[in-house]
Each structure stands twice: as structure tokens, then as C-alpha cells.
Amino acid sequence: MPNNSNNQEITNTTATSLASDLQPKFTLSAVQAKFLPYVLAVALFMQILDATILNTALPEMALALGESPLKMQWAVISYALTLAIFIPISGFMADKYGTRKVFLTAIVLFSIGSIFCAMSPNLDILVASRILQGVGGAMMTPVARLILVKSYPRNQLLTVMNFAVIPALIAPLVGPLVGGYLVQYASWHWIFLINIPMGILGFILGFKLVPDIKEAAGKLDWFGFGLFALAAGLLTLAVELLSKPGEAIPGFVLIAAALGLLLMYVRHARKAGNPIFPLSLFDVRTFRIGITGNLFTRLGISAVPYLLPLLLQVAFKYTPSQAGWLLTPIAVGAMGIKPWVSKIIQRFSYRKVLVTNTTILGILIILLAQLNASIPWYYIAPLLVIMGACNSMQFSAMNTITIGDLEGSQTSSGNSLMAVNQQLAISFGIAFGATILSVFSDRLNFEIISAFHATYYVLGIITIISGLSFLRLKPEDGRGLY
């Protein structure tokens, strides 16, 4: 859930930053001009609903697939990691093959992946199906956003984007509820099959409304893309291996290999004419601070949406629908704080807001370690509302300060790297949280509730420490953004 509120912040900052660089590439008909934003709205709703609906359903899915609920993290990690890997080439594919063809293909891949997920007899096939879904998702929302950027004049773009991202606010609210009720009163298969009617709607809208815009694609940095993708996959797999007894050495070997690949990418990017992620981005101080803070801060934050439904259902014995209702306050808090985010940042500066808010988030995660099954829901809900509000504040502030000082061609590549960084942080965070939980429950033989509590303590402390990275910001940083 925290990660899903990113879609609105990414979209808003993308609209603002790219509007100054891009003029409309296509003249829309009256029907297209009126209804084209619905294409992005449907794509966003499908993608965010799919992510938020899954968290509540994982324990029941684990039971049906014969897996431990504490081992289901790869159903989430595989999707987020695939997004991170393939988002960078979405723009290239759209420019080379046309926005219409790529968007429709993405809808089809996402829908077929959803069907395969629903048919999965075991976790391995489910993970493979989620990867197919991720390939579609990596092309679907970014290309839909790109279509709007290229189709509307700059003075209309922010209005169009704000309308299109309304589902980004609604989907996190209804996702946990829908997921909880579907697995409790129907079956877990429906959390994926629900994507099919929306996919059909998205395909029809795309077929009728999406213009086929092509650009001079140039050459994609396939070698750099391969190095980056392989390094990201190895790092995620390494974290997972470290949680298993007897697998520590292979895990550290994979970490060393991944770091070696990243060093190879740095050397390659220095010589390449058009690297997939230019190193010059890191010459911008606020981008450098923002992108690293984004990654490390989200390690703790991203694990919470995965761990909290497990705590409620596995440890506290909540039903899926009860867990779904108790997760909605996070989305309520995220929505409620939005009108105040800019005013708070203007009043206190990015530096103070990010350092303070990250500390508060760490404390809130530690407070989750104080929960037990006897605590009434009306004591838990306010804590989650505050957490949702702080999440929204954190994502908005981190995203805008990260790309706020980028100019010209840096804006597009910087925004792409930020989106990739966020998805990597989700996959790393979930893998890291699951690893810590496994260490306490399997290796140290903690009781299940105690294992969850200890995990939240670790994640909270790491989150607080990660906030210190924002001390490198200057008080005046970001003043031009408001």
C-alpha cells in the first residue's frame, strides 16, 4: 500500500517536469481529447488494485497452494522486480513500435498473466505468472502516461493527469477489502480473475482512443540494461538465500556478483554514448541524496504492507475480510493528508520534513511491535491512519526533491530511474522483511507473535537510521518547487 500511493506522486511530478520539455506530438479528435485520460485511469486502477488486493489474500493462497504463509513473499517480489527491470525500456518500445501497439500488447500480457496466476497449481508457477504480469504492467502504466504527455498541450497536462490518477487514490482503499472478501467467500483465484473484465475494458478503450505515436527510437543500451537487470535479480535472490539455513555463503557470493555487475555498469556508462541511466544524474546533489534516501528509507516501509496482513491473519487469527477492513485506514490517512503536503513542506522545508517524518515512520513501525490479538481494532486503526499519512508525506517529498533540480534530457531519465528505484526498494524491502522474520521464527525459534514483534523492531530502527541520510540536504533545497 505505501508503494501504491507512489503512482500519484510519480505521475504528478512527471507531468510537471515533462510538460516544459514536450509539446503535443499528436492532434486528438474531440472524442479522444475528452476520453483519452480514461485509458490511464483504467491502467492505473488495474495495476494498483492487483498489488493491494494480493497482500490480504496471501495467507489463504498459501494454504491452498500448500505453502507456509511466511514463504509467500515471492508472489509479490517477482512482480515488483519485473516492473523495476522492464520500466526503463517501456519508452523505447513505445517510440519504436508505436504507443498504440505497445499499450494494447501490455494490456493483453497483463490479462493473460492474470489468467495464468489464477490457474497456478503451486507457488513456482504463480511466480512465473506474476513475472508475465509484471512485463505487461511495466509497459502498461508508463506508456499510458507517456501517451497523455505526448497528446495534450502543456497548459492542459496537469489537469488531465490529476483526473487520470484518481484511481491511484481509490484502488488502495478498496483493494484490501475486495481481496479479503473474495478469498473468504469465493476463492483466491478471483483476485486475479477480476483483472479480466477490466483488461477487456482497457483494451476496448485503447483500441478506440489511443493514438499510434512513433518517435525516432535511436539505439537502446541493451548491454547496460542487461547488466542492471542481472544485478537487480541477483541482489534480490541473495537476500532470500540469506534467510535459509546453510545458504549464507551462496547468498554472499550472489551479492558479490551483483556488486561486480554494478561496477561493470559504471565503467560501461562512462564510455557509452547513450547509457540507459546516465551517471551525470548523480552529479546533481539533490538527485543523489533523494535516490539513495528513497532506496534505504523504503527498505523498512515497503516490508510493512507484506507483513501486516500476515500478522493479523496468521498470528492474531483475523479473517481475511477483517484484515482487509483494518488495512483501509492506511489508504484513508494517505488520502487525507494530500491537501496539506505542500503547505507542510513550504512551512518546514524538505530537509526538516524528511528527517522528522522518517523518524516518525520508524517509531510507528516499532509501535506495531506492541500489538497483540487482544487489542481492539479501534486502537489499531488510528495508528494505521497516521502511518498512511506519513507514508504519503514521505513519498511526495522524496519524489519531488529527487527530480526537482533535473533539467532538460535529465528529467526523463531521472524520472525513469526513480520509478525503477522505487520498485527495487519494494522487492528488496519485502525480501529483507521476510528474511528477518524467517531468522527469528526458524533459526532463533521465536514464537510466531514474538518473531513478528522482533521484526518490526528491526525494521523501525533501520527506518529511523535511514532518515539521517536526508540531513545532507540543505535548508534551502527544494524552495523552487513550491
How far is Cα 76 from Cα 430, in angstroms, rounded to an integer?
Answer: 8
Q: Is it the case that residue 14 has pLDDT exceeding 70? A: no
- List pLDDT tens digits, range 351-402: 999 999 999 999 999 999 999 888 888 899 999 999 999 998 898 888 888 8
Same domain, yes or no: 269 and 393? no
Range 219-236 average pLDDT: 88
Same domain, yes or no: 99 and 158? yes
Tell me which of 213 and 254 has the higher pLDDT: 254
How far is Cα 362 from Cα 66, in angstroms, rounded to an integer?
Answer: 34
The reported pTM is 0.82
Same domain, yes or no: 264 and 361? no
| Among 276, 51, 317, 70, residue whose Cα is nearest residue 171 | 51
How far is Cα 84 from Cα 441, in angstroms, rounded to an integer?
Answer: 30
Same domain, yes or no: 172 and 264? no
Domain boundary among 235, 254, 275: 275
Helices (H), 302-408: 304-310, 320-368, 377-403
- Across all residues in the chain, what is the average pLDDT? 84
- List pLDDT tens digits, range 318-347: 999 888 898 889 888 988 888 888 889 888
| Among 106, 98, 92, 86, residue whose Cα is nearest residue 40 | 106
Residue 127, phi then psi, degrees to nearest 5: -60, -45
Residue 9's pLDDT band (cuts 50, 70, 90): very low
- List pLDDT tens digits, range 151-175: 777 666 656 666 666 666 677 778 8
Q: Which residue has the cell 506492541?
A: 370
N residues, the chain: 482
Same domain, yes or no: 25 and 38? yes
Residue 5's pLDDT band (cuts 50, 70, 90): very low
Same domain, yes or no: 186 and 265? no
Q: Residue 39: is it exposed, middle or buried by C-beta count within 10 angstroms (0-12/13-18/19+)? A: buried
| Among 133, 144, 139, 82, residue whose Cα is nearest residue 105 | 139
Torsion of CA 193, 311, 298, 413, to 10 degrees: -10
Same domain, yes or no: 284 and 271? no
Domain boundary among 230, 259, 275: 275
- List pLDDT tens digits, range 127-136: 999 999 999 9
Amino acid at 88: P
Cell of 207: 483500441
Neighbours of 362 (CB within 10 A): 23
The CA-atom distances, in angstroms, between 469 and each of 7, 195, 295, 345 are 24, 39, 11, 18
The CA-atom distances, in angstroms, between 94 and each of 32, 51, 153, 215 are 19, 24, 20, 8
Domain boundary among 247, 275, 303: 275
Q: Is it the case that residue 216 has pLDDT exceeding 80? A: no
Cell of 270: 562512462
Q: Is it the case that residue 218 has pLDDT exceeding 90? A: no
How far is Cα 332 from Cα 330, in angstroms, rounded to an integer?
Answer: 5
Same domain, yes or no: 271 and 334? no
Cell of 263: 561496477
Residue 8's pLDDT band (cuts 50, 70, 90): very low
What domain count does the chain have? 2
Amino acid at 462: I
How far is Cα 371 from Cα 368, in angstroms, rounded to an integer?
Answer: 6
Three-state SS for 260?
A: helix
Amino acid at 310: L
pLDDT at 164: 67
Tell me which of 411 and 64 has the higher pLDDT: 64
Same domain, yes or no: 416 and 473? yes
What is the distance of C-alpha 456 from the center of its chain? 20
Same domain, yes or no: 265 and 376? no
Q: For residue 54, what is the domain's CATH number?
A: 1.20.1250.20
- List pLDDT tens digits, range 33-77: 777 778 878 888 888 888 888 888 888 898 889 888 878 888 888
- List pLDDT tens digits, range 438-450: 889 888 889 999 9
Residue 481, phi then psi, degrees to nearest 5: -90, -5
pLDDT at 259: 92
How far is Cα 40 from Cα 211, in angstroms, rounded to an integer?
Answer: 13
Q: What is the DSSP string of 201-247?
A: HHHHHHHHH------------HHHHHHHHHHHHHHHHHHHHHTSTT-
Same domain, yes or no: 154 and 229? no
Domain range for 11 is 2-220+276-481
Same domain, yes or no: 376 and 438? yes
What kind and span of H or E run contains 418? Answer: helix 409-438
Cell of 474: 540543505
